[in-house]
Amino acid sequence: MSDQLKVVSLDVDGTLVTPDFTDAVWYEGLPGLLAERDHIPYEQARAYVDAEYRAVGDHRLEWYDIAWWFERFGLKDHRRMMAGFRPRIALYPEVEEVLGVLSRRYTLVVGSASTREF
């Protein structure tokens, strides 16, 4: 069996795509909706959301489920909120060139632990 590398696996979030979109959804959009609904300052809503994120913890599957968080906070229409941040989805500048070079030599596999909505 050959020891030669044949497949390169890449993660979408933080490797190919900048974190701007996901950060905007979790740390701007969700707290912004709470601030608007509850008529509280954004900073207060953000602190509340951050505390709730920490209370659940990133070892639970719910942590990654935007629909679950919307239900938890009594909010509706996570897809609409997320759509508002679509312009912030961006590849890192070198991604297309690097993938082009790698794809000539390797089979590329792209994966993500993110939920389908992201």
37-77: pLDDT as tens digits? 999 999 999 999 999 999 999 899 888 999 999 999 999 99
Whether the predicted pLDDT of 2 surpasses 60:
no
- Mean predicted lDDT score pLDDT of the chain: 93
Burial 31-41 (b: 16+ CB within 10 A, else e): bbbbbeeeeee
Contact in structure between 7 and 109 (CB atoms under 8 Å): yes
CA 13 from centroid of its chain's CA atoms: 7
Question: Rounded to whole angstroms, how far apart are CA atoms 8 and 50?
Answer: 35
Contact in structure between 6 and 66 (CB atoms under 8 Å): no
